[in-house]
Structure 1
Amino acid sequence: MRLRALAAKGLLTATRLYLVRHGQVADGCTDVYNGHNDVDLSLAGVRQCQALAEYLQDVQLAGIYSSDLTRTRRGAEMICRGRNLEVEVCPEFRELNFGIWEGLSFQEIMERHPSELRQRFNDLANFRIAGGESLTDMQTRVIPRLEELLARHAGQALLIVAHAGVNRVILSQAMGLSLHRVFHLDQAYAGLNIIDYYPDLAVVRLLNGIFYPSS
């Protein structure tokens, strides 16, 4: 009965989110935690974003958004080309602030901060890196901005180019997953996720789709 009532009011039209991770970054082969560091795309990353832009060229979008970091803005701008749209920059969609770990590889973090790394693994959602954020902190800034954009584009389609951590937080909320399980969700460079938001639930239609050659 509830579904019939919503359908009668035209409220079952989904708001569709195309959620994209940025392409490979210039140091993308070195396992560096960039976080808020403003690194550019590599040539491979540019090609990945171009391939995704081509795949999405016939998709009607009411808005295109990105974080304020270069690696996301460039990808969003490629998807914008040929559309009567401009990229709207949202600092709330920045990657996790890794604090004193930014610019370090995982191996370097293990060597320099082994105790803190163990603490993070023991409480993934709430451990706050010195000088940085916890996943819960990031969720607190990401989700309200997302909800604002979903309300702005109710019944339409919008696209966000963000980061692996941001995307995992958004997907976790849509799927009802705890933040302790975010790394069960892979997010490849220039990977595409599609989420339909209805009044009382979110449906993930595509998870981590890749539209460029793997080699």
Structure 2
Amino acid sequence: MRHGSVTYFDAAGKPFLPEQVPLTEEGRAQASAAGRVFGAEGVRFDRVIVSGLPRTMETATLVLAESAQDPGVIESWPELAEIRGGRLSAIPDAELRAAFTGVFAGAVAEDARFLGGESVGELMDRVHPALDRLLADAGWETVLLVLHGGVNRAILSRALTGQRLFLGGLSQSAGCINAIDVGADDWVVRFTNYSPAAPLQHASRATTMERLYEQYARSRGH
């Protein structure tokens, strides 16, 4: 899953600390809707792994509450935190839109940096070993990962291609569910970006990062 909706900028476009933002009311509703789907389908989790950031922990807790499962099973894996941005104020106006949206379009080069911070290659350097460690553990049948848009893209890209590749155009709506079957020799992607709270996702054509760019740009008078 991706965590539910949060607010990264205030009304004037000033950023909040991304490590601290909680779910919005809409985000809590998205997480609860996902939990009800899991409960209705009888999906039980042997393990639940989050990045440790509040928005993933809160999403997982709501999912487990709605599906009548024990929140005490939640594990925090910090290496699965979202791709890290740099200082927004250091990005020139002419490069701002590309800095927000560039790593989430097409097949992305490993040296591409998110908001002037961490590169796509650096993201995969920490996500792939964590994924390998999880897959090496034969003690689970069904695991729930509640993570982030960029991290989920890294996982899905590997599942779809079998390679070290980052497909930025894989949409990850807030609170969405992805399903992957993993085996010794192959992976099967059952579905991606299913949003129980809004299955058709018709309310907006803008991506998450396009909306965030528009919010932040207000602080620069754009």
Superposition TM-score tier, normalisation by shorter sequence: 0.7 to 0.9
Say if 2:3 is the partner of 1:22.
yes
Match of 1:88 in 2: 75
Task: Provide Cα deviations, 1:148-179, integer angstroms capped at 9, x if missing partner.
Answer: 12222456010000000000000000111777
Say if 2:61 is the partner of 1:77.
yes
Say if 2:124 is the partner of 1:139.
yes
Once residues 211 and 192 of structure 1 are traced to their aligned partners in structure 2, the CA distance between those partners, rounded to angstroms, is: 8
Shift, 1:59, TM fit = 0.4
Q: With CA pairs under 8 Å and 6+ residues apart, which has the higher RCO, 1 or 2?
A: 1
Closer, same or farther: CA 66–114 of 1 in aligned 2, 3 Å: closer
Structure 1 counterpart of 2:148, from 163, 180, 191: 163
Q: Which runs of 5+ in 2 are unaligned?
A: 204-222
Q: Which runs of 5+ in 1 are unaligned?
A: 1-19
Match of 1:65 in 2: 49
Amino acid corresponding to residue 48 of structure 2 in structure 1: I
Moved more, 147-156 or 123-132: 123-132
Percent identity (aligned):
28
Once residues 44 and 59 of structure 1 are traced to their aligned partners in structure 2, the CA distance between those partners, rounded to angstroms, is: 24
SS at match of 1:60: coil
Task: Provide Cα deviations, 1:136-156, integer angstroms capped at 9, x if missing partner.
Answer: 101110111122122224560
SS at match of 1:65: strand
Shift, 1:27, TM fit = 3.9
Instruction: Tell me if structure 2 keeps the 8 A contact 1:125–1:134.
Output: yes
Once residues 32 and 176 of structure 1 are traced to their aligned partners in structure 2, the CA distance between those partners, rounded to angstroms, is: 38
Once residues 93 and 154 of structure 1 are traced to their aligned partners in structure 2, the CA distance between those partners, rounded to angstroms, is: 20
Closer, same or farther: CA 59–179 of 1 in aligned 2, 3 Å: same
Instruction: Tell me if structure 2 keeps the 8 A contact 1:67–1:92.
Output: yes
Closer, same or farther: CA 91–56 of 1 in aligned 2, 3 Å: same
Once residues 61 and 112 of structure 1 are traced to their aligned partners in structure 2, the CA distance between those partners, rounded to angstroms, is: 46
Task: Provide Cα deviations, 1:6-58, integer angstroms capped at 9, x if missing partner.
Answer: xxxxxxxxxxxxxx001110348989988953211110000000000111122
Closer, same or farther: CA 61–126 of 1 in aligned 2, 3 Å: same
* Aligned residue pairs, count: 190
Structure 2 length as normaliser, TM-score? 0.72
Structure 1 counterpart of 2:22, from 32, 40, 46: 40
Match of 2:87 in 1: 100
Structure 1 length as normaliser, TM-score? 0.75
Instruction: Tell me if structure 1 keeps the 8 A contact 2:154–2:165.
Output: no
